[in-house]
Amino acid sequence: MRPILLVVPREAEGTRLDRFLASTLSAMEGGPSRTELQRWIEHGGVKVDGVAKKASEKLREGARIDVEPEPPPKTEALADAGVEFEVVYMDDAVIVLDKPAGLVVHPARGHHTGTLVNGLLARGVFDPPDGDEEVDERPSVSVPALATPTKGARGTRAGKKEASDTLADAIVPGLPGGPFDFDLDRSRPGIVHRLDKDTSGLMVVARHPRAREHLKAQFATHSIEREYVALCVGQVAAVTFDTLHGRHPTDRIRFSSKVKTGKRAVTHVRPLEQFGPHATYVACRLETGRTHQIRVHLADNRTPILGDPVYGKLPKHAVLREAAIALERQALHARVLGFIHPMTGKAVRFEVDPPADFQLALATLRAMP
């Protein structure tokens, strides 16, 4: 943001400095967050009549407020070129990728580097399309055709599904050249959904703030197509789980569907292959996207995902036990992802097969006598 000069109007006399700035600047496109404003004030970047003031300063009519925003921190500090993942598709608005198991999505306590976001930064995913060159806010651009997906993935334009009026209003006909404001959302730029660390598969990440808002709206209205495949211990029939979802009452690491209050969670499960009474290969379609949702629903059904260290345990059956030990993670993979493209308004759909460790476990189950 550029330096800003404000003059306090009569109706704002007596208002605290921080509250006046929050109410005035929040209406600006790309305006600062309250956290940013507090930091600018604390660092002397906000002056009233030429003097740096505290956040609690009461304003008088006619006072001149100079705001000197801090430059956003350098994104290179978070970049990590050692993070590996496969790009399935990318254009100016989004990147669709195949996240490997073992990769945390964004920095958090205990994971400050080595995450997917660190890898995205290293690849320049959030940089302007033409470097630092500024362009008009809504330039006329030709929409690129969908690229051919990379190895092991399938991507298509999926029919004539139309965006809702709300989503249509947010469609980005052309993208500004500016990158994400990393000072506003430094730890998770462009992230609109997550996969658990040890769940593999498809994710979409926004490359531009307006594309991010468009995708967030689709997730909020449950219009995103998401299908996972999993290997479960026991026999699983076709079933729809429609439950509450919340923290486990005694184990705060876990979630549960057996709670009295919580958010609604809906998972549609259909069996793909049965391995006698011992195991089932299933497809799970999400309507909602709660933390650990599929893992919780299958575990509370007494058919936990093979290898799940939180919601399951090592099976007694020798072959299943061997497969779980070899996996070293839950056998859960995000296979299908479909959404309305933020720039074109067209429905797109991607599909990627499970990785080698999952395929090996599946082959082991198929070889059971």
**How do the pLDDT tens digits run along the chain, 369 residues long?**
578 889 999 999 999 999 899 888 765 656 777 777 888 888 788 999 888 898 999 999 999 999 887 654 443 337 888 999 999 999 999 999 999 999 999 887 666 788 999 999 888 888 766 544 333 333 222 233 333 344 444 554 333 333 334 444 445 555 544 455 544 456 678 899 999 999 999 999 999 888 999 999 999 999 999 999 999 999 999 999 999 999 888 887 889 999 988 899 999 999 999 999 999 999 999 999 999 999 999 999 999 999 999 999 999 999 999 999 999 999 999 999 999 999 999 999 999 999 999 999 999 999 998
Q: What is the DSSP string of 145-200?
A: PPPPP-TTEEEEE-TTPPPPHHHHHH--SS--S----TTTSTTSTTB-----TT-E
Q: Is 196 labeled as catalytic in the residue annotation?
A: yes
Q: If 0-12 CB within 10 Å is exposed, 13-18 middle and 19+ buried, where does residue 213 land?
A: middle
Q: What is the pLDDT of residue 175?
A: 52
- CATH fold label, 4-67: 3.10.290
Q: How far apart are CA 80 and CA 124, in angstroms?
A: 11
The region, left, alpha or beta by phi > 0 then psi within -120 to 50, assigned to residue 183 is alpha
Strand pairing of 332-340 and 200-206? Answer: parallel
Give the number of other CB atoms < 10 A from CB of residue 233: 26
- Per-domain residue ranges of the chain: 4-67, 75-221, 228-334+358-366
pLDDT for 154: 54
Residue tagged active-site, from 18, 91, 196, 357? 196
Topology given in CATH for the domain delimited by 228-334+358-366: Pseudouridine synthase (3.30.2350)
pLDDT value at position 173? Answer: 52
Phi, psi for residue 319 in degrees, rounded to 5: -70, -45
Q: Which residues contact 363 (CB under 8 A, 6 or more apart)?
A: none
Bridge partners of 5?
Answer: 66
Residue 106: predicted pLDDT: 84
Helix, strand, or coil here: 39?
helix
pTM of the model: 0.69
